[in-house]
Amino acid sequence: MAEQKATNVHWHEGDITREHRQKLLGHRGATIWFTGLSGSGKSTVAVELEGVLHERGVLAYRLDGDNVRMGINKNLGFSAEDRAENIRRIGEVAKLFADSGVVALSSFISPYVADRDAVRELHENAGMDFIEVFVDCALEAAEARDPKGLYKKARAGEIKNFTGIDDPYEAPAKPEIHLHSDQQSLDEEVEVILAELTRRGVISA
Amino acid sequence: MAEQKATNVHWHEGDITREHRQKLLGHRGATIWFTGLSGSGKSTVAVELEGVLHERGVLAYRLDGDNVRMGINKNLGFSAEDRAENIRRIGEVAKLFADSGVVALSSFISPYVADRDAVRELHENAGMDFIEVFVDCALEAAEARDPKGLYKKARAGEIKNFTGIDDPYEAPAKPEIHLHSDQQSLDEEVEVILAELTRRGVISA
């Protein structure tokens, strides 16, 4: 340990690294990337997982429409170009969080394989965990839930290019985790993700 | 405390808030915004402060050219519009970190009052600490250091619109902290910032 005085503290051990932060927190940073249709239950799983991680002393942080679309991405619309840029920026922010030691929980539809794979590559090139969680749910089930009334508006033609209606959802071919939110319980879903985090050594058992 | 089983953990206490994360970490998140000329010593103070905070068990994370300009802002150039967008995005990212419980250390020249004030407003409107640290240094001293050889290039006309040479640096009128890096020691600078963090209750004494 470096010498420490009450009024004059020093740090002599070089730049603080990801490993220093991991040691401080007792866990590694990572990005958990939820993808799936609107209404599939991405945020529901993310919120529950956040609570369970907190209970275990793991610092997690959710990135979602509330704090991203109104913040860093508030100058983006819904053109193809802006949608790609939306996901790119979220991926870069998640990567910064993962680097800082935080478990970032990103929940956005993120319907295109190319955009998600670009975020994966960003993380993997930097030696960071990227865990893609496909929150799979039949369109009928998601549309029946329609928590925000968006499917209704899309069917009425009030929203254009809505994923699953008149814009495609490209399902992940090899997600780290494949949930079936119309068949599994919330507890089961969270357990599967915890097991993967433990298996990777992001968190301890 | 919620009941906890080995293989089936629940969280029943509602959404995790900033206060939950503060309790977990033992400190509050905040944004420390270093501003000053190129070569004024912003990064030097940020690196030292990061180490000292780490020594005290405080999770800090630096945002700088290395992880931002090459990442989330890699599609921005140096037009007036792009410079403003550069600072806006960094401010939004810092705010997310502050919200997550991390002490974000942002070190960018950020020469314009309007851009910095917009970032301040973002934080203050959300009830988050924004601590502007003016790393003041005579142009002559910064230019004499010229750690990246940028002043030399600017004087030779190889770099245009370089802050302090052919583009203005708008000094903060009322920064929370006013350092004089050409007169103070690094230890003194860090002590002043620690005192402010303690006074605000971001970290404990």
With cut-offs at 50, 70 and 90, classify the pLDDT of residue A78: confident
Per residue in A14-50, pLDDT (tens digit) is 799 999 999 999 999 999 999 999 999 999 999 999 9
Residue A10 vs residue A42, higher pLDDT: A42
**A61, B100 contact by CB (below 8 A):** yes
- CA-nearest of B145, B152, B124 to B40 is B145
Domain positions in chain A are 26-198
Give CA B178 to chain center in angstroms: 14
**B133, B45 contact by CB (below 8 A):** yes
ipTM metric = 0.93
What is the model's pLDDT at position A12?
65
Look at the alpha carbons of B94, B99, B100, B101 in this order and tell me if their dihedral is positive or negative.
positive
Q: From the candidates B8, B49, B61, B123, which should be mutated to test the interface with A, based on the most A CB atoms within 10 A?
A: B61
**Minimum Cα–Cα distance from B50: chain A residue:** A16
Which residues have a Cβ under 8 Å from the Cβ of A126 and sit 6 or more positions away? A95, A99
Residue A70 vs residue B24, higher pLDDT: B24
**A31, A98 contact by CB (below 8 A):** yes
For the segment B82-107, the average pLDDT, to the nearest whole number, is 97
Test A8 with B50 for CB contact under 8 angstroms.
no
A26-198 architecture in CATH?
Answer: 3-Layer(aba) Sandwich (3.40)
- CA-nearest of A195, A161, A204 to A176 is A195
Residue in B20, B56, B93 closest to A72 by CB: B93
Test B48 with A93 for CB contact under 8 angstroms.
no
What is the model's pLDDT at position B149?
94
Test B9 with A47 for CB contact under 8 angstroms.
no
For the segment B89-107, the average pLDDT, to the nearest whole number, is 98
With cut-offs at 50, 70 and 90, classify the pLDDT of residue B100: very high
What are the φ and ψ backbone dihedral angles of A134, each rounded to 5 degrees?
A: -85, 110
With cut-offs at 50, 70 and 90, classify the pLDDT of residue B101: very high
Round to whole Å and give the CA distance between A70 and A72.
Answer: 7
Smallest CA–CA separation between A165 and chain B, in Å? 31
Classify A11 as helix, strand or coil.
Answer: coil
Per residue in B143-200, pLDDT (tens digit) is 999 999 999 999 999 999 999 999 999 999 999 999 999 999 999 999 999 999 999 9
CATH of domain B18-200: 3.40.50.300
Classify B46 as helix, strand or coil.
Answer: helix
Residue type, A128: M
